[in-house]
Amino acid sequence: MPHTGLLRHDQTLFRDPDVFEPTYLPEHLHHRDAQVQEIAFLLQPALRGGSALSAVLRGLPGTGKTTTVRRVFAAITEETRRVAPVYVNCRHDHSALAVYRSIFRQVCGYPAGRHLDEIKQGIAARLRDRDAALVVCLDDADELIVAGIYNTILYQILRLYEKWDVRKAGVFAVTSDLARNLYAEADASVRSVFHPAEVNFPPYTRAEIREILADRVRQGLYPRVLPPPLLDRIAVIAAGEQDVRVGIDLVRAAVLRAEKDGRRRVTHADVTAAARTVMAPGLNSRIAALSAGERTLLSWIAERSSEGGDMASGAVFEAAQGYLAVGKTTYHEHLKRLAEAGFLDLVPRTGRGREVRLRYDATEVAAACRSPDRTPKTPDRV
Ligand SMILES: Nc1ncnc2c1ncn2[C@@H]1O[C@H](COP(=O)(O)OP(=O)(O)OP(=O)(O)O)[C@@H](O)[C@H]1O
């Protein structure tokens, strides 16, 4: 791509647009060595010809659970046929038939028929032929709980060996809901065969997110399209959201905006506008879900924060007295709820008390509090 003048309509800033797609599997997995090792360790017995082990994988959205499992599964598939790793997205496949059809397609290599028993029989026959142990990753397994089939699916997969004379299967149940205990959700008959190890995926730090994004930018964009300070800014926003996916979406949206205007470089304004479209819908609907009291307090905190006021929790309470009719207990309950809902952090201070720190741009929050059902208006800055 030439580097002078405006972009022609047939030119693009994307060297490889696929790397910004949700289904893209990155070549290099950053900062997940410990988790890769734990999963590889759990697969060892099956690789040596024994039973597969199970695990529960936990971590907030965008902490790399899916990517890590898919990377390890891809490596196994290249290496051996003694383990049959299968990935099921339970958001898409949340009926028993859909789950088994997905398993069948991946184990057998062609689409399944319509009858559940025949599908299970087909899976078992292929596993026996290959002398392979089945390992099923149930991503977003919570969806199976909601659909009321979590226990049935686990029970049937984990006891497949009894009925069909195959090696014992393993299940990797994945959740991004940290309040959910996928082991406790299993009933007694399942727990007698489900002894999952727990693999945790902590949120990435800002520096880690920046590194992941820098890698993606190097692969997906032409040089100099995204200036480093803007990449820093995007990493800060994504780290605030504790979700690398937000960063990837922001890069793509900002570059598309520059491309649409025929420019060769992303600007601050592009990132601001991208942040509005990528994050505002979520912010608005979450603010709309707050109680009136919580929303009023959040709006007050946003205004105080944008004016540069003292954000010590006690100072915020004192200052709010002339404005909000809340007692201390209610104030602390509201604060706790706002922190749990991810709008702010309560950061311990040296000395006493805690500091109230907004996770979002204060102007965005104040605007969204005023009209939670509409996209907030923000000045053109990042
Ligand atoms: N360590 C990493 N290295 C490179 N890319 C990563 C890494 N972790 C996450 N990503 C990228 O971030 C995005 C989100 O990752 P992923 O889907 O694996 O997260 P998740 O924890 O499964 O999220 P969810 O719970 O919402 O399904 C993907 O585009 C993925 O490629």
Among the listed ranges 28-32, 180-184, 306-310, which one has the minimum average pLDDT value? 306-310
Percent of the chain at pLDDT above 70? 95
With a CB cutoff of 8 Å and minimum separation 6, the contacts of 246 are 62, 237, 238, 278, 279
Residues 326 and 348 in one domain: yes
pLDDT digits 0-9 by tens, 25-79: 998 999 999 999 999 999 999 999 999 999 999 998 889 999 999 999 999 988 8
Q: In this structure, how many other beta carbons lie within 10 angstroms of the beta carbon of residue 38? A: 19
Question: Is 268 near ligand 1, meaning CB less than 6 Å away?
Answer: no
- Residue 270 structure tokens: 């592009």
End-of-domain residue from the set 281, 306, 339:
281
CB 297 within 8 A of CB 338: yes
Instruction: Output the pLDDT for position 287.
Output: 86
With a CB cutoff of 8 Å and minimum separation 6, the contacts of 250 are 234, 237, 238, 271, 274, 275, 278
> Whole-angstrom Cα distance, residue 261 to residue 318?
48
Among the listed ranges 149-153, 191-195, 224-228, 349-353, which one has the minimum average pLDDT value? 349-353
CATH of the domain at 224: 1.10.8.60
pLDDT digits 0-9 by tens, 332-360: 999 998 988 778 888 887 777 889 988 77
Instruction: Output the pLDDT for position 199.
Output: 98
Residue nearest to atom 16 of ligand 1 (CA): 64
Residues 215 and 301 in one domain: no
> Whole-angstrom Cα distance, residue 354 to residue 348?
4
Quick one: average pLDDT of 109-137?
A: 94
Nearest 5°: the CA angle 121, 127, 130 is 140
Residues 254 and 195 in one domain: no
Q: How far is the CA of 68 from the centre of ligand 1 (A)?
A: 8
Instruction: Output the pLDDT for position 382.
Output: 27
Is 205 assigned a ligand-binding role in the annotation? no
Residues 165 and 112 in one domain: yes
CATH of the domain at 312: 1.10.10.10
Residues 107 and 174 in one domain: yes
CB 254 within 8 A of CB 217: no
Q: Is the pLDDT of residue 281 over 70?
A: no
Q: Is the pLDDT of residue 141 over 90?
A: yes
Residue-number span of the structural domain to which 156 is assigned: 33-201
Total domain count, the chain: 3
Quick one: average pLDDT of 176-183?
A: 90
Instruction: Output the pLDDT for position 379.
Output: 33
Average pLDDT along the chain: 89
Percent of the chain at pLDDT above 90? 63
Better-scored residue on pLDDT, 258 or 177: 258
In a domain, residue 235? The reply is yes
Question: Is 86 near ligand 1, meaning CB less than 6 Å away?
Answer: no
Question: Is 65 near ligand 1, meaning CB less than 6 Å away?
Answer: yes
Is 65 assigned a ligand-binding role in the annotation? yes
Instruction: Output the pLDDT for position 5.
Output: 61
End-of-domain residue from the set 260, 281, 302:
281
Closest approach atom of ligand 1 to CA 208: 1
Question: Is 378 near ligand 1, meaning CB less than 6 Å away?
Answer: no
ipTM here: 0.98
End-of-domain residue from the set 152, 181, 201:
201
- Residue 238 structure tokens: 């994504």
